[in-house]
Amino acid sequence: MIELGGGDKPLGIRVYEALSRAILSGEFGEGGRLPSSRGLAELLGVSRNTVNTAYARLEAEGFISIRPASGAFAVPGARLAEPPRRKPEKNASVGFPEKRNDIVDFKSGLPDGRFFPVSRWSRAMAAALRDAPPSAFGYGAPEGRPELRAAIAAYAMRYRATRCPPDGVLVAAGTTQAIGIIGRALFGQGRERRRIAVVEDPLTCDIKSILSGQGAKIVPVRVDAHGLDPGRIAPGIEPALIYVTPSHQFPTGVSMSVKRRIELLDYARKSGAYVVEDDYDSEFMFRGQPPPSLQGLDPERVIYVGTFSKTLSPALRTAYVIFPPGLLKAAREAKWLSDLHNPVIDQLALARFISEGWYARHIAAMKGIYRRRRIFFSSCLEVEARRAGLRLRLLGDPCGLHLAARFPGRSFTRERLARLEADGVKVYPVSAHALRPRAWADALILGYGSLDEEELGRGARILMESLRRG
Ligand SMILES: Cc1ncc(COP(=O)(O)O)c(C=O)c1O
């Protein structure tokens, strides 16, 4: 049976597709004859010319051979066997589960997309396109556009006390890519012996996976109320790098004390390791100013990573790395191997957005919003915990888009997490990010940045009520 499908396509293509489908499914048999063009035109209600054009294309593509005075024949072998039918797997879910709108999702690290500066960003994009030189529409340099690197160097120097010339900056597709680039640059040539990555415990599991994926041997060091303690790093291990989040430890929220910072730099100098400073959200420090970067204390030993994922949007996939001069060449090569470079017009727009002052203004405005949310959410948690008769301990400094909390006496097992979700809150256990999960069984990471006050209040109430029940 020849059936015309593909309703909105041109008629000639529909006739061609119907015939090729019929040939592939063996409709005419091995080497069998196709209807005459006149007969088929009548059958399908199309002109003979349309059928002839389809036949000519089928012949050119090797589906049929046309023999003068005999007709058109399917080419032997132009038949595709049906794939074996597989039984649908039991319980196999198709795609992502439906997102429930009534659930309060405390996913951490998300800025509130409702406040993305759409109008200013559109203007920066339009201006970037309008003023871009022709070279901007070709391939770019792996390290990024000079306009953006200069804007970032000036911004980081002013707000994070980094010390670096613009040519020390490399633009990357998020911290996620930046860590991979750092790994590749450090574990590569000349440093084969060094494969150890000392990391904070707990730490975001994505970073651990990226480093392990680069072949690193992960050595965890416990974080306490003052951050990572370099005195706990096993003697004689010669790490290639020590990954830290000193401004606002993820996920516990503590900031590294000055004493520990000095000890860490001292350790790095003596052992020859690089410190990787992931400064992912310190722009939103709500009490005073964030501590100045470690990089500013030792630009030779510290690799600094900043991101636009929290201050603007993770969808931009833009972060930056400040490298010590000796590593720039290897970093540039690693970025090139990864994806050549970040999209150029986006870089030009971001450079404008920063250098015209809109970035700093946006951060200042969002800091006010997130600060109010943090205060509101902390007090909701405390009030609801008291009402439910639960013990609660909020950890870390007031900073960023998430907080960590301990619930002494409770343990966030898979069953409990499922029960909480059924009750209407999705929460994330610290233990999923810990190399010693048992030590964090009673702790949660609660993101508040993307939730408004109604959602925060409702979420805190449901969470405590559900925990009270068992
Ligand atoms: C510790 C840490 N660093 C950095 C990031 C940002 O990653 P990216 O810049 O790839 O969006 C996150 C994201 O949540 C994070 O948890």
Q: Give me the mean pLDDT over the 74-96 stretch.
A: 71
Q: Which atom of ligand 1 is nearest to the CA of 109?
A: 14
Q: Which of 176, 208, 280, 316 to mutate to test the pocket of ligand 1 (most atoms within 8 A of CB)?
A: 280
Average pLDDT score over the chain: 94
Lowest mean pLDDT across 6-10, 64-68, 83-87:
83-87
CA distance 226 to 210: 26
3-state SS class at 242: strand
Q: Which of 257, 291, 273, 271 is nearest to 162 (CA)?
A: 291
Query: Looking at this protein, which amino acid is placed at residue 310?
Result: K
- Give CA separation, 153 vs 193, 330, 454, in Å: 33, 20, 39
Q: For 433, which DSSP code?
A: G
Name the DSSP letter for residue 458.
H
CA distances, 92 to each of 87, 89, 96 (Å): 11, 5, 11
- What does DSSP say about strands 169-172 and 319-322: parallel, antiparallel, or unpaired? antiparallel
Q: Ligand 1 — pocket residues by CB below 6 A?
A: 109, 174-176, 204, 245, 250, 278, 280, 307, 309, 314, 319
Ligand 1 center–CA 75 separation, angstroms:
57
Q: What percent of the chain has pLDDT over 90?
A: 86
Give the CA-trace dihedral at 67, 70, 71, 77, to 10 degrees.
-60
Q: Which amino acid is at 320?
A: Y
pLDDT of residue 78: 87
pLDDT digits (tens, 9 = 90+) for 33-65: 999 999 999 988 999 999 999 999 999 999 999
Give every CB contact of residue 247 below 8 A, 6+ residues apart in sequence.
255, 256, 279, 281, 282, 285, 290, 291, 293, 399
Q: What's the rounded mean pLDDT across residues 356-364?
A: 98
Name which residue sits closest to atom 14 of ligand 1, judged by CA.
109
